Structures are given as C-alpha cells and as structure tokens.
Amino acid sequence: MDQPILITTTMNNTINWFVTAGTLRSAFELCKRDDGSQFYKLKETAQDLVEFVYELHDSELPNDWRYDTIISILEIIEDYNELDDDVSFEIAESLVDIYNHDLFQWYADHNDRINYMQEGLDEGLITPTSAAISQLSTGQFLCMKRMVDLIIERLKE
C-alpha cells in the first residue's frame, strides 16, 4: 500500500483506472453522512466507472456492503504479485464473514441474495440439509468470488 499509485490517461485524457488495483482503489473516496456514519463512493473524477461498479453490484441498488467489499478486494489484490487462478478463491474465502449476525444481516439487507445460496446448492457446495450458517457463508462466498473475478478480469485486460 505504500507504493505510489500509477495513473495513466487515454487519448481523450480520461483516467485508465484499471492499471493496478491501487489505481482502481484510488477512484473511491471515504465520505461521512450527517449521522456520522462513513461510506465509500466513486470520486467525481471516476464517474466513468459507474457501469463497472453497477456490474459489481450484481443488479442490486448501490449499497454500503458492496462498496466496502470492493474496497476490501482491491486492498487485498494490491498485496498479490501475480493474479493466478487461485487468487479469486483465496480472496473471497478470506472475506467471508465469520460472525453469524453479520451473515444474517448480509442476507437480510437484500433477500435476493438467496440466489447465491441456490447457486451453492446447484453446484453441490452445500445440501438442502446444510446448516443455515453454512448456506449463508457459501452464498456470501459465491457473491464475493463473482466480484473478485470481475475485478481481476478487468485488471488483466
């Protein structure tokens, strides 16, 4: 993280945010709401990333969990020298919530996230008789892995 951020521009002077994970991370800023809570958002200079960030939201409306997860993914990717096939699995696995409350909150925030658990069932990662926590953590893992895969794919282009 102590490395300087390399930002390049294209022919029309727009920033190429996908040079490194650090460059992409620099497109976000931490802001404060009136109630004192903090949240991440795209900087005004990074509005050309709206479509990509929407894709990372997987059809959800903008929400703090997704933005926080994007930031966490980018900060972890910065520590990798090479982005091989195992990286997305490792990163997603490392980010899955370990507290039951957080997993239930993740699901409660957008109950469409049950589709990730269904995907886990379809892929044989869990069974219908798996504990609820196993189903939730598998669903969250699949959700985050999709986000990691999308980010890595864009960084490798």
* pTM of this structure: 0.88
Residue with tokens 């044989």: 124
Closest CA to 87 of 97, 76, 99: 76
Which of the two residues, 3 and 73, has the higher pLDDT score? 73
Task: Say whether pLDDT at 5 is over 60.
Answer: no
64-81 residue pLDDT tens: 999 999 999 999 999 888
128-147 residue pLDDT tens: 999 999 999 999 999 999 99
100-115 residue pLDDT tens: 999 999 999 998 999 9
